[in-house]
Every structure is written in C-alpha cells, then in structure tokens.
Amino acid sequence: MMDDPRMPSQAGLCESCVNVQIVRSDRGSVFYLCRLSQSDPRFPRYPPIPVIACVGYQVRLKPDATPEGS
C-alpha cells in the first residue's frame, strides 16, 4: 500500500493540537476540523494548512491518542 502524500504531517500545528478533529472523506482526502470554530468565530472550521501560528493551539499531551472523531 502506497503512502498517501497528504499525510497529517502537512498540517503544521493542527497535527498535534488538542482542538483538531481529523476528517477523512470517502475519497481518502484528509481534512482538519478545528473544534474551536464551534465556539469562537476567529477560527475557521477547516483552517488552511499548514497552520504555522495559532492562538488557539494547545499541544496534545498524549501524542498516541487519535484526534479522529467517532
């Protein structure tokens, strides 16, 4: 199986942020949904990646925990 060139490593800060929810489309595309967008209009629902600076960024303390939604 080939590696997907759109791997999460291209997401910048969102990659390791506690506020992200990774969404995968049926076609295999990966989107980064910022959950802060639900309560704060400063944050876009799908921030343009890579995000290199963000006031809402909080590092995920458990790097092995998946940010994917159920």
Catalog residues that contact ligand SF4 under the rule CB under 6 A.
13-14, 17, 19-20, 34, 36, 43, 47, 51, 54, 56-57
CB of 24 to ligand SF4, least distance (A): 16
CB of 34 to ligand SF4, least distance (A): 3
Q: What is the full DSSP assignment across the chain?
A: -PPPTT-GGGGBGGGGBTTEEEEE-TTS-EEEEEGGGGT-TTS-SSPPSSB---TT--B-S-TTS-----
Give the residue with the Cβ less far from ligand SF4, 1 or 9: 9
CB of 4 to ligand SF4, least distance (A): 20
